[in-house]
Amino acid sequence: MGASATPIVETIEARRVHRLTGKEVVALDSISVRIERGSFVAVMGRSGSGKSTLLNLIGCLDFPTSGKILLDGRDPGVLDDRAQSRLRNRMIGFLFQSFNLIPQMTVLENVETALVYGDRPEAEWRQRSEGLLERLGILERASHKPGELSGGEAQRAALARALVNGPELLLADEPTGNLDSRTGEEVLGLLTELPAEGRTLVLVTHDPAIAERADRVLSLSDGRLESDRRVR
């Protein structure tokens, strides 16, 4: 079995329970899915259905209470904080609904922040960041602070930051939720190019029209996998 046959993400009976003032809340219940490299997977469900929890587990920001998450066949849960952070830095890019740019830093500094925690030589940072900003069409906003950007520009800056380390996996949580339909469409257009580059896109949305463009749609309800539908 070749390495390419190993799914980029595999969840095995992944379960996440939150304990809130003695009461147990099951955020995610025994999810088992395999996500192939280079695919575009949409995750749907109402709020509280566990979509974001799943995304956080895949992104190593959170860890399952029981079960396992394997990234490229390996379990990040056994690594120490440092190694987990390295993994996040190299392998995973995040995109959030509210952009999550650091307000006191310029667009360029925000993009470079992802490089600061990696181990690429500092000499490459600027060129790499500016190249990506140019590709995403916002190079002229590089020295602006996030507060001075439109929603579309902010999300593109965030996308540049998410992609600057060349991650295999892009995790997007309602990336167009705060954008109007036109700029949302633009951002979505940029995102849907990623699978063609061999990157895997996992996108949380509650918009069926967006989900229809994915290769595969996972529907969650009350922390359970309700359906797993291949669109193409």
In this complex, which beta carbon is closest to another protein, that of residue 211 or of residue 220?
220
Window 168 to 197, contacts with another protein (CB under 8 A):
none
**What is the smallest separation between the CB atom of 84 and another protein, expressed in angstroms?**
8
Q: What secondary structure, in 3-state letters, does the chain show?
A: CCHHHCCCEEEEEEEEEEEECCEEEEEEEEEEEEECCCCEEEEECCCCCCHHHHHHHHCCCCCCCEEEEEECCECHHHCCHHHHHHHHHHHEEEEECCCCCCCCCCHHHHHHHHHHCCCCCHHHHHHHHHHHHHHCCCHHHCCCCHHHCCHHHHHHHHHHHHHCCCCCEEEEECCCCCCCHHHHHHHHHHHHCHHHHCCEEEEECCCHHHHCCCCEEEEEECCEEEEEEECC
Asked if 82 is part of the footprint of another protein (rule: CB under 8 A), the reply reads yes
Asked if 114 is part of the footprint of another protein (rule: CB under 8 A), the reply reads yes
Asked if 56 is part of the footprint of another protein (rule: CB under 8 A), the reply reads yes
Residues 6+ apart with CB under 8 A from 3: none
Residues 126-165: x where in contact with another protein by CB under 8 A, - otherwise, as a string:
-----------------------------------x---x
**What is the smallest separation between the CB atom of 16 and another protein, expressed in angstroms?**
10
Region from 7-15, 30-38, 108-116, 129-137 binding another protein, contact rule CB under 8 A: 108-116
Asked if 100 is part of the footprint of another protein (rule: CB under 8 A), the reply reads yes
**What is the smallest separation between the CB atom of 54 and another protein, expressed in angstroms?**
12
Residue choice 17, 26, 105, 190 for contact with another protein (CB under 8 A): 105
Q: Contact residues for another protein (CB under 8 A)?
A: 56, 59, 61-62, 81-82, 84-86, 88-90, 94, 96, 100-105, 109, 112-114, 116-118, 122, 161, 165
